[in-house]
Amino acid sequence: MQYDRPGKKVWRYLSPIIVYYCVVMLISFIGSMIITWQLMDHMPATTDTQSFITELMTASLEASVPIYLISGLAALPLLWRMLRRDMTMRRYTADRAALKKGTLIYCALAGILSCLSASILVTLSSVSQVSEGYSQATESVFSQPVILQFIAVGFVMPVVEEVMFRGLIYNRMKDYMKANLALVLSAALFGIYHGNLIQGVYGFVMGILMVFVYEKYQTLAAPVICHIGANLVTLILQLCNIRLDSYITALLIAAACLGLLYLVLHHIQKKIHIGVIPNPRYIDLFSGSSQNSSDASDGIYPPPRGTSPKPDNDVLPRKYTVDDYYPRPNEHDESKEE
């Protein structure tokens, strides 16, 4: 796939986000229509336009979390289908038999410790007081019923965001560039996605952490668990309204969290080794089903350029793979020498 045109590469990077936001816009439009209809039905006829607009904006802000929850649930099947389709285009997959599921607890610990340290540092720096976007984002979340906060922010959105950013965007970037560059770019995109400076910086750092655990465990469950751990801690801290009066105490707790986080990540680096094996679902380019030998045209893409397959009734039709359409550079060189 390294021979794709630049436009196609950019489209592959951004299409998961575009699909998601199209769903969000559709759900938001439907939600706005419902809210407007309810306001018009209940507000007095003498209400002036300015008051109506103010009430509409307030109601829309209060409905933001339910809208994102519904949007996430609606977009997840589409994103998951894109992910499964991508998996058929990769020659290797994780050796799931070597994964000990109990070790995923380290991912949760990493998410919890990173969130604790980040929350304390943000509070100590007082930057949250000067960031209007961050204040609006937190207000729209924490003004919702607690159960809705935990369902939407604690569980649903971490799954949606990890499928979108690590499962799709990061892996697609790795199709065209080195893993380190894909890590930085996907983390930066994850930060921009959050829409304000504080959450953007936090999202960038967390994006790097998510890729780290994803690559070590070779399963999307690792960053999902890490993400859920971080979000749940944020909600619990807000719900319990924990305050640290002493600056020194808060700083020491943040330092302790960072130290423990380093130990957890060091343990993951040293102890978790998940290899890869040939992907049994690796099939023809863009084909979502197995080949049918009884039908020569079923699931078989047009032959790549430079090939002229000869029909033979005694031999099954050739099943072209991704490597036939995107040969490696040394394969080009060998063909020229011959």
Q: Which of 223, 199, 222 is nearest to 140 (CA)?
A: 199
**What is the band of 259 on the pLDDT scale with cuts at 50, 70, 90?**
very high
> Which residue bears the tokens 């999902």?
224
Q: 46-50, 108-112, 199-203, 332-336: which range is least confident on average?
A: 332-336
What is the largest distance, in Å, between two alpha-carbon atoms of the chain?
86
3 state DSSP class of 65: helix
Adjacent-strand bridge partners of 92 = 278
Contact of 284 with 305, CB cutoff 8 Å: no
Contact of 65 with 152, CB cutoff 8 Å: yes
* Helix or strand (DSSP H, E) at 166: none
Per-residue pLDDT for 95 more than 80? yes
pLDDT tens for residues 32-43?
899 888 888 877
What's the Rg (C-alpha) of the chain? 25
**What is the band of 107 on the pLDDT scale with cuts at 50, 70, 90?**
very high
Specify the pLDDT at position 285.
52
Q: How far apart are CA 224 and CA 163, in angstroms?
A: 8
Q: Which of 282, 294, 275 is nearest to 320 (CA)?
A: 282
Adjacent-strand bridge partners of 94 = 276
Per-residue pLDDT for 274 more than 70? yes
Specify the pLDDT at position 23.
97
Per DSSP bridges, beta strands 276-278 and 92-94 are antiparallel
- Apex CA 253: angle with CA 247 and CA 258, to 5°? 125
Specify the pLDDT at position 2.
58
Per-residue pLDDT for 185 more than 50? yes
**What is the band of 312 on the pLDDT scale with cuts at 50, 70, 90?**
very low
What is the average per-residue pLDDT within 169-193?
Answer: 95
The residue among 143 and 94 whose pLDDT is bigger is 94
Specify the pLDDT at position 320.
44
pLDDT tens for residues 221-242?
999 999 999 999 999 998 888 7
What's the DSSP call for residue 92?
A: E
Contact of 300 with 284, CB cutoff 8 Å: yes
The residue among 3 and 264 whose pLDDT is bigger is 264
Q: How far apart are CA 119 and CA 257, in angstroms?
A: 11
Q: 46-50, 109-113, 232-236, 299-303: which range is least confident on average?
A: 299-303
**What is the band of 52 on the pLDDT scale with cuts at 50, 70, 90?**
confident
At CB < 8 A and 24+ separation, what contacts does 260-264 make? 260/109, 260/113, 261/110, 261/113, 261/114, 261/117, 264/106, 264/109, 264/110, 264/113
Specify the pLDDT at position 47.
73
Contact of 326 with 2, CB cutoff 8 Å: yes
What is the average per-residue pLDDT within 56-81?
Answer: 91
Residues whose CB is less than 8 angstroms from the CB of residue 334 and which lie 6 or more positions away in sequence, other chains included? none
Per-residue pLDDT for 201 more than 80? yes
3 state DSSP class of 176: coil
Per-residue pLDDT for 245 more than 50? yes
Contact of 24 with 65, CB cutoff 8 Å: no
Per-residue pLDDT for 330 more than 90? no
